[in-house]
Amino acid sequence: MNTPFNTLFPKLFLVALAGLPAAVLAHGDAATGAHGGTLIESGEVVLEWIGARNTICLSDHGSGAPIPSAQAGGRIIVAGAGAQELTPADGNCLRYPTALAAGSKAVVSIRLPGRPPVQARLEP
């Protein structure tokens, strides 16, 4: 028996399903930060990764205020290439010495005074 529900529901379901990928992709870490880098959320901290300058800048997730990096430190570990130390630079930024090769994958671990450790994944 063909009722309006039997014919209309599948069509509405397909329309809703077609819009799902756009809704899912709308939320992500691909936003651009103040320095032109990629924003990555990690708990209470937002990392702005500026690969062209070997730099990661830090800001508070809630307020957006820069987090001073003078007492911060950490490491970036690149798959197949080892670890590099992160050193304070430019107020709220940390630098690493060697650029990441295209296609490489890395994990960053940052220590900030008075905050839990911050970890994030970087994929140039």
CA nearest neighbour of 93 among 43, 37, 28: 37
Q: Is 38-122 in CATH node 3.30.420?
A: no
Residue labelled with tokens 């940052």: 110
- If one counts every other C-beta atom within 10 angstroms of the C-beta of residue 88, the result is 15
- Do you know the residue count of the chain? 124
- Sheet with strand 55-60: strands edge to edge: 38-42, 45-50, 55-60, 93-95, 82-89, 73-78, 106-111, 118-122
Is the pLDDT assigned to residue 55 strictly greater than 60?
Answer: yes
Amino acid at 58: L
CB 75 within 8 A of CB 64: no
120 vs 28, higher pLDDT: 120
Instruction: Pick 124 or 10 by higher pLDDT.
Output: 124
pLDDT value of position 30? 59
The string of pLDDT tens digits covering residues 77-122 is 999 999 999 999 989 999 999 999 888 899 999 999 999 999 999 8
pLDDT tops 60 at residue 123? yes
